[in-house]
Every structure is written in C-alpha cells, then in structure tokens.
A and B are shown apart, each in its own frame.
Chain A
C-alpha cells in the first residue's frame, strides 16, 4: 500500500475538528485561514489552535472563535508546542530552545517532548534530561535515561517510554526524582492513559508496542502514600495488575490515543487506524497519514484525502 506522507494534521477542539493541510487551517465550515506549508505539529487549547512547520521554521496561531491568525517565525525546527493558559510555548529542537514570544529558554541537547501541567512546563531532551520551566526559566532539572520515544504526564507523575529497554520509567515531578520502572512488552513506543488514577486504582497505562502488535495495558506508578492508602504496593514491582492483558492487532501499532472510553491505535508503517477495546480491535480507516486523525468527544475523525471523515464510537 502506498501511504501518502504529505502533511495533514487534525486536532479536536471544543469548537470542532481543525484540520491543517496545504497552507490552510480550517475549522469545519466555519472558517478557513492561511496555514503553513508543511504542518508538522498541531496543538490546541479551549480558545486557540497552533500549527507548526518544522521545515520552514514557522508557526500560525488561530483564534478558534474567529479564525483570525497570527503568523511568526520560530527558532530552528519547531517540533512541539503547548499552551500554558493563553500563552503559546514552542519547542525548537534544533535550536535547543523553548520559545515564548521573544524569549528563548535554552534547553539540553535534542529536546523532543514538551508538556504543560498546572502552569509549569516540562521538556524531555533525548540526551537524557528532564527540565521544569516556570515563568520562562528552568527551575529544576533531572538527569534521566536518554532516548525515550514518548513522554507523558498524569497528575504529578511523568512517564518516559524506552523502546530499546522495553521499559516505562516514571518521574515524581513533585520531588523531581526518578520513581519507578516498569517492564512493558518488547518494543514499547507510545503511551497514553487508559483510566484509573482514582482513590482505589492506580493509573492504567496503554502502551503501543509495534513489535508485539499489541497495546499493553499496565498499571502505572503510584506514590508511596497512594499505595499505602490503597493497602498495597504494586507500581514498583514490574508488570502492573493488567500486565498480561493486551489488545491485539493484525499490524504493529506504534501510536495509541485515549479519550474517555474511546481508544484508538495507529500503525505508521501502513497508515492503518484502529479502534480497540480490551478484547478486540477493528480497522477504522487505511492509508491515513501520521497525525491526520483525532479522537473527538463522540468518536474519531480523520482526513480521507479530500475532507474530514468522522465515525461515532460506541
């Protein structure tokens, strides 16, 4: 199968699905604005959407209500962005900076992932550094194992995925300390949170493993206090409670996305998008470019080559 790799990105916003492609940024039938030539990353808040062009070092921010846009040049190779409130931060990988307006915050080598939580920003650099940024300066940093393929945050815990080691490592962001390590699958690549995180249950991690052609469901870390509160300690013991449960796919999926009770997975090699549950998986669409899909409040949306297609999920 020939997979069209030309850039098209979708993101789900409170106003609807925004699609970025071919120098356009569009919100359904409501507005169309000038976008970027090569959309390589898209991020949204309740009020705004930002699309990056990592090749041309450019960003466009659009107001969701009006479609009014602001365009600006970024430092070299903007690969990620995050809104902290209404403020946009852009991670320029090859310039090794986090850009906030005219401010450029120096970062460690090969910064790859940016997450915003509670007014703080966290950047994981693949040379092996996790940096916390507050009020436009690095406030704390931690040396962690290098070469993670994903970094996600839930609550006060950061999760780093290591394909070579088949490990998910966690960081207690409150203490800024490494906290636990879980063996997951054969080649875990991508992670999302599949529920849990209540007073009675720990976070459930959904981990895409293209080698095993599975999404592993594992219990994430819990703090000592949380563990004692639940009467047991399991997060640090390797495989979590759900470690042997996995969803199977006909091809190797390397991206997993969860929104509420809806779970989707994506195989970048074949461009196949799957919907899955704990017991089964089914194909939603084939030939989809990376990033050209999004989970919405009611289902899944994807770019079919000419328009946004949507499918409600049970």
Chain B
C-alpha cells in the first residue's frame, strides 16, 4: 500500500480551501488518534497544517507544521540510530518539506540535499524536493527535481506514481511560466487517470465514497482522488488563462462531478458564469464550501464593485460572510463591522475575518461631510460615526446639510439620500404641499446613527423641505 504521497502542493493554498475542510480536519484528527505510525502522524500533521493554512488560520497551521517537523526529525534520528538509511532519507525529505512549509528555506534546502545523497534513485524523494522548492518559490529548482522523479518513475511500472510526478512537474512548469509543456503533461495525466488503467481505483473510490482531497495522501485511493481533483483543476485553469472558456468550464464541471463542494471549481464557474443568476448560485455554493478563502473573498469583492447582489440569506456562515462583503461594498462599514464581529465571535482565530474586520475600520481619520454631501461622504460618516473626535461632533451638531432625498412609505420619516438610508427621530409634518413619491430637497442636521429596517441609517433632524430643482 502507498504509505504517503505528496500529491498536491499545486494550487495556491488560499484557493484550495473549503468549509467542508471541517470534515477533513475531523478525519485527520481521527487518524492521529487512531494510528501512532510515523506516516500516519506525519500526513495527519501536514494535512491539518494545509487545511488550517487554506482557512487562513496561519498560527494554527504553523503549529501543525512544527509538529510535523518534530516528528520527522525524531524519525531521522531513530532511523539513523537503527542504521536504517532508507527510513532516514525518507524522514529527512519530510523534515525538509515541513521546514519549507514553515518558510525556512536554508534549513529545507540543507535537508533536501542530505536526503538526495542517500536517495537520488528515489522518485518520491525528488518529488518531495520539487514540492519543497515550489513552496519556497524556486520553480526552476522544482522543475529540475520533478524531472528527476518523472525520469525515475518512467522506468517503473506504477502508473499512479508516474502520474503524481508528472503532475508535480506540470505544477512547477506552470509556476515558471512554461504553460505549454504543463498543459501537455496535464492532458496526459487526466486522460490516464480517467482511463481503464485506473478502473480498479475508480471503483474503489466510488465504493468507499472517497472524495477527500489531501496534500499528503495515504493509500492509493486517497492519492488517486486527490491527484485527479488537482490535475483537473490545474488543466482547467490553464484553459481559462488562454481563453478557452468552454474547455475550462467542462474541466471545472468534471471536478464538481467528483466533489460537489470544491471551492476552487465553484469560484471559477462563478467567474465564468453565463448569467447573473448562475454566478450568484456558484458564489453562494463556493461560500458555503469555504467562507474563509481569501482568494474567493477577493474575487467576490471584485464582482460586487460592478453588481449589486440579490438579498442574501445570512443564516449560514457562508451567507453571513457574503452579507458582510456586500455591506462593505455598499460602504456600510458600521453594519459590516457588526456582521464581522458576530462571525469573529464564532471563529476567533480566523485571519480572513480579522483582515476584513481591519478593512471595515476604513481610513484612520474621518472627515466631516461637505455642505451638500456626496453619497460616499455620508456612507463614510455612517460607517464611522463613533470614531468622530469630540471637536468634530461639536462641529457636526452646528452644521446643516442639504441633499436631494427620496422618502419611503407614506410618512415623512425615513428614506435614502443617493442610496444612503436616513431616518428622522419621528414622523414629521412639513408646511407646504409635497409629493412624497418624488425626490425632494432636504436641509438637515446629522444627529447620529440609528437603524432603519435591517440597515444602519443616519439619524437626521429636518430643518427645511423644498421641492427638488
């Protein structure tokens, strides 16, 4: 049985994540509790670290990688004491991989070179070398190492190993900008994995309902499932980059056929959607899969610049994050902060939420609006009212503003100024005759922030109402 195969390390970590990783975390923790073998413990720690990193929980990820390194280091010394040089080389390679994940490039390189002295004939050792170099940002070195592993595996009979190493080579090639050779390799890998040659593994994966995708896979089925997922994603991304949208979409859909909650595929299909409805559906599913993927968050924020999403159901974590992002996009930073604080209470270690919370704070200095304020000025005030200095509050109390407003309902009580909600302390009667359904010119003082329906709103004191020019 395949003990441990580093399959992935292919996509940016932030892009690989999913809330469904809760399941993977539980699986890994079970594995750690169940088996005390070196490979089980090591793959458990590495995968936990990867999942944590994917969820942008960097300090937790680091803790797991440190544990993986300590395990590998202990195994190195034990193997050496036992005069088991194959074990020693293997453990040394994994110690290097853990160091690479910790960003310690000098230590990682030194360990990789040490492993290569004993295991230059081992394709897996070179695969680990390539993985570590890729993690550390040396794609040319990764390519050379990956070519070694492919050359060695090509002389053997194990087709799954060969596919694993070809995938690693393709990954390094992509990162070095050599997309053409990478695409050829990935077409070979995906075709091979879907072929009859792998029928037995396909059946076994279906029978066991295996869908978990790991960076360090244990056993042939896990390696097969993980590799097929990653190779398809990589290939789809290459198609997408060179503008072959139909092929890209088809490949992403194949990924979803294997795993319906793959956040990378869902995000990509949202990006490539043919209609707004389709886009929203894929984004909703992607955020359900992992609401904390920074790559997904950023992409959704880009979409929100141009489009207003339909009302968002925030009953789930994914929905709550999307709602906070929509609030941020509308400049409702006060409301966004409240939404994010509620999420942070549930996920205090999450760095994506922390980042968004910092961004919701906005600029450090808040300016008072001009006499005829723009929507942006009013939104900034609405979002940051409590950050006004005492001097600014005094100035605000004395200032009057004039805007064209649109009242809502049948009483002069609440409405919007260029989309920014406002509300009076109570319904007001103005002298004169006004059509409440039409825009009107309001002169007012700003008293503070209140709620209007489910949104934050400026609390205004009306001074004068006139027909709009």
- Which residues of chain A have a CB within 8 Å of any CB of chain B? 5-7, 38, 40, 54-55, 76-77, 79, 93-96, 109-110, 112, 126-127, 146-147, 149, 163-164, 186-187, 189, 210-213, 251-252, 254, 267-270, 289-290
Contact = CB atoms under 8 A, between A and B. Distances in A.
Contacts of A55: 105-106, 109, 138
Nearest to B91: A269
B81 to A, nearest CB: 8
Interface of B: 76-77, 80-81, 83-85, 88, 105-107, 109-111, 113-114, 117-118, 120-121, 138, 140-141, 143-145, 147-148, 151
A189 B147 contact: no
Contacts of B147: 109
Nearest to A94: B144
B106 A38 contact: yes
B141 A76 contact: yes
B169 to A, nearest CB: 13
A239 B375 CA distance: 90
Nearest to B107: A5
A296 B143 CA distance: 39
11 contacts: A5-B111, A76-B144, A77-B144, A112-B120, A127-B148, A146-B120, A147-B120, A187-B83, A211-B84, A269-B80, A269-B88
A149 B117 contact: yes
B125 to A, nearest CB: 11
Residue picked from B88, B105, B145, most chain A C-beta under 10 Å: B88
A48 to B, nearest CB: 24
Interface of B, secondary structure class, is helix
Given A110-B120, A126-B120, A187-B85, A210 B107 contact: no
Given A38-B109, A210-B80, A269-B77, A94 B121 contact: no
Nearest to B148: A110
Contacts of A146: 120-121
Contacts of B83: 186-187, 210-213, 252
Query: Closest 3 A-B residue pairs measured CB to CB?
Result: A94-B144, A147-B121, A211-B83
Nearest to A76: B140
B101 to A, nearest CB: 16
A210 B85 contact: yes
Contact of B114 (A110, A127, A212, A268): A268
Nearest to B89: A163
A226 to B, nearest CB: 31
Contact of A93 (B105, B106, B109, B144): B144
B117 A189 contact: yes
A149 B77 CA distance: 20
Contact of A6 (B76, B107, B113): B107
Contacts of B121: 126, 146-147, 164
B110 A109 contact: no
Nearest to A163: B118
A18 to B, nearest CB: 20
Contacts of A93: 144
B144 A149 contact: no
A93 B109 CA distance: 14
A269 B109 contact: no
A117 B138 CA distance: 33
Nearest to B118: A163
A206 B182 CA distance: 45
Contacts of B118: 149, 163, 187, 189
Given A76-B141, A254-B117, 12 more contacts: A5-B106, A5-B107, A6-B106, A55-B106, A77-B140, A77-B144, A94-B143, A110-B148, A163-B117, A187-B118, A269-B76, A269-B80
Contacts of B88: 210, 269
B39 to A, nearest CB: 20
Contacts of A109: 147-148, 151
Residue picked from B80, B81, B111, most chain A C-beta under 10 Å: B80
A106 to B, nearest CB: 14
